[in-house]
Chain A
């Protein structure tokens, strides 16, 4: 701390206003030891990009393999390792931390008018735990990989697999502690560090969604840690827990695993919903319709999400009556999701709608999430799930939610807050183009998989009967378009760091507290603690139109 103060004092008067890049040093050391939530958010962004790239490459290899029915490009063992890497990295090292750890870390304290999260050092520790886990997972890949799939089903994982299951599970286990600490940090930050006047019902909905997510992180992740530990005990010392040959019960593993992993699905979608509530209101210049209902819907999803894990197990030999109960509860958890979609739609009514990139992503999110949610109704119908579970129908469904939902929201949020994070504008036309490419590529990749699944193609198949080829070819073609949709933003984001237009403090005329400080923000966020005297989303579509007509704003209409 002392060294920091001295360095700031000694440095020449900066040409730009002070910000978190310049304050606190520019050395690698100053980044690796930072406790600034904004820098930690960026550290997460870099790490996530790294894991995402590896996981995306494995996806590309799988899609190439699946162009032909024969398993002719890689061996079966290799293919099994590819989907394990893809699933493990995407779920634990990209999706779960994506919005919370990158955008949440960066934006949450700014939205609350706080100087930082409640425990800045713990926040840095989370990042180290996350990467220690990630690197351990990668070590297991380098030494030969893991072939259990991301679900680690027993007794295959605990007794039969000859791959590096323990290293991979240990990686996930360690990263889990990073998740728990982030969740804890966010909960306490929201409780204790809100600016004066920022009551619970004046909080932006992004905060509500992060709060709900954090509750799930803290309550569910320990169960994952225990489950993986039990699996490891059986694998290393032969302690019979899951393998019936040792006296265990293999289905018990599935109960424990999904008790974590189903709530984890909501970890992977709630923050996305939060981002959409921010961008829809801002680019429609409307107050969100039904604020309380959208906020409570997040909490309802977080709670009900804990009661539906058995819908992954309708054909697992779980009791018929349990199957029926889980089916009913799964339908009930769909209600709050539906409420959110209706409220977003209603928010557009009498708005002043601008189709800037973040809004295109928000609209894309509603489209893809609705498709993902509706196909969830198919899977919740227990009689139909018997046919489609463990087929490509499920693969398509959860990609619509995870990629179509969460990744789309993440991209939308990244564009929306990019000016705040970097102080630069991204190129708008290219942004809109990339959003469209992604939408088209995504649908072409995953829609055919619904048909494929209903036809009966099982998931995790290295080779498949020839009648399934046409849809696999379509899917692989779509994946290459989707790839372009991801590469394009990567290129122009990097370009914008140097050549992008300088961003003003509030380029979108948005209402959140994060826009009331310069872009990029100074190290301690606000020159003086802001005071809040009204609710969020105080937008007026009429006023926006009036200013546009009177030439008071130069904002383009498209």
Chain B
């Protein structure tokens, strides 16, 4: 039986989180001393039957109460700011991040690499690169948890969530599902394999030489008939999609949205919700005709044909 005390720090986020953790342990220890030492002292000193000065004193109640109201309030607000800073830093996805898709379903993790590699319950990544993961769920809520990286994000059906990390150490790390998802919840675990760049390139080269994700998406784009209306010179009027990714889209409602993953996903499944300016809603919903992985492939295709890399994004604004 091993006796681990502390998880490995395998990412940038891990170090920041651990500082906060140690800071909180230090503050808690001080508070415990402040509370427990007087209690124990009073118990011994004022134990019934023991001679001690018990003359009632009129302590200034209000100043004392204000002291132990105001000081903790300041400490707590300080802790809030510290926690908020760590959170904020970890929510901002660096613009140069490498994109990987993960689909959770009862009870496995399906991973899509842009190069077309597919894995189940194993995620190979290069060390020292910013990795952005788009999370989707095929069924219930799951949660993508990498304890050695100190990061976690719920995977919610019906929407995309994102998480990012930069693995700083080569090694194999745990991947858990941490939101209860049914019978084999505790078997929905996997591994993240962090490799040196050369080994990663090797791994990529050795994998199946099928289509890239974008190519698979392009095939779907044609098979499902998207190209018929959206690609230029047809009778049906539909907004052109190539070159759209990451750009602002003015809507009929007067709003302007960014054509990101969430917008494209919603437009495929719920086309009536956000209609691009100047168009009418003639598109059928693809809900039920396309699964989460195919959806992500089409989005990968549109991304590959999109504008230059969209500027820095916040994960869940």
- A residues bordering B, Cβ < 8 Å? 71, 76-77, 80, 147, 149, 153, 155-156, 159-161, 243-245, 248-251, 284-285, 289-290, 293, 314-321, 323-324, 327-328, 331-332, 334-335, 338-339, 341-343, 345-346, 348-355, 363, 366-367, 370-371, 374-375, 377-378, 380-387, 389-391, 451, 454-456, 458-467, 469-470, 473, 540-542, 544-545, 548, 555, 557-558
The listed residue with most A CB atoms (<10 A of its CB), out of B153, B178, B317, is B178
User: In chain B, residues 47-63, which have Cβ atoms closer than 8 Å to a Cβ of chain A?
Assistant: 47-50, 52-57, 59, 61
A370 CB contacts on chain B under 8 angstroms: 31-32, 35-36
CB within 8 Å for A381 and B141 given contacts A374-B28, A386-B150, A470-B1: no
- Asked if B143 contacts A390 (CB within 8 A), the reply is yes
Q: 9 tightest A-B contacts by CB?
A: A456-B147, A244-B158, A383-B86, A381-B83, A557-B49, A331-B76, A461-B186, A383-B87, A348-B42
- Asked if A380 contacts B48 (CB within 8 A), the reply is no
- Asked if A374 contacts B32 (CB within 8 A), the reply is yes
Q: How far is the CA of A354 from the CA of B43 in the complex (A)?
A: 9
A329 and chain B: residue at smallest CB distance: B80
- Asked if A331 contacts B156 (CB within 8 A), the reply is no
- Nearest CB of chain B from residue A326's CB, rounded to whole Å: 10
A458 CB contacts on chain B under 8 angstroms: 145, 176-178, 186
A249, A383, A455, A548: the one within 8 Å of B6 (CB): A455
If A350-B53, A382-B83 are given as contacts, then 12 extra A-B residue pairs at C-beta distance below 8 Å, sorted by A number, are A80-B182, A250-B141, A250-B157, A290-B65, A315-B143, A317-B154, A350-B54, A352-B48, A370-B32, A377-B79, A381-B79, A390-B143
- Asked if A380 contacts B180 (CB within 8 A), the reply is no
A161, A318, A331, A384: the one within 8 Å of B86 (CB): A384
- Asked if A323 contacts B76 (CB within 8 A), the reply is no
- Asked if A387 contacts B72 (CB within 8 A), the reply is no
Q: Does B148 lie at the interface of the complex (its beta carbon under 8 Å from any beta carbon of A)?
A: yes
- Asked if B148 contacts A317 (CB within 8 A), the reply is no
B157 and chain A: residue at smallest CB distance: A244
Q: How far is the CA of A338 from the CA of B179 in the complex (A)?
A: 31
Q: How far is the CA of A295 from the CA of B145 in the complex (A)?
A: 42
Count residues of chain B with CB under 8 A from any CB of chain A: 92
Which of B16-24, B208-216, B217-225 makes up part of the contact surface? Answer: B16-24
B151 CB contacts on chain A under 8 angstroms: 386-387
The listed residue with most B CB atoms (<10 A of its CB), out of A159, A327, A332, A386, is A386
Q: How far is the CA of A316 from the CA of B155 in the complex (A)?
A: 8
- B residues bordering A, Cβ < 8 Å? 1-7, 16-17, 20-21, 24, 27-28, 31-32, 35-36, 38-39, 42-43, 46-50, 52-57, 59, 61, 64-65, 68-69, 72-73, 76-77, 79-80, 82-91, 106, 139-141, 143, 145, 147-148, 150-154, 156-159, 161, 174, 176-187, 189, 287, 314-317
The listed residue with most A CB atoms (<10 A of its CB), out of B17, B161, B187, is B17
The listed residue with most B CB atoms (<10 A of its CB), out of A249, A323, A383, A460, is A383
CB within 8 Å for A456 and B7 given contacts A320-B316, A334-B76, A352-B54: yes
- Nearest CB of chain B from residue A348's CB, rounded to whole Å: 4
Q: How far is the CA of A159 from the CA of B86 in the complex (A)?
A: 36
Provide 25 A-B residue pairs closer than 8 Å at the C-beta atoms, listed in order of the A residue: A76-B186, A153-B141, A243-B157, A250-B157, A251-B156, A317-B156, A324-B88, A328-B77, A338-B68, A350-B53, A350-B56, A351-B42, A366-B35, A380-B79, A381-B79, A383-B86, A384-B83, A386-B152, A387-B152, A390-B178, A458-B186, A460-B185, A463-B186, A470-B3, A558-B48
A347 and chain B: residue at smallest CB distance: B42
- Asked if B182 contacts A156 (CB within 8 A), the reply is yes
- Asked if B39 contacts A464 (CB within 8 A), the reply is no
Q: How far is the CA of A470 from the CA of B3 in the complex (A)?
A: 7
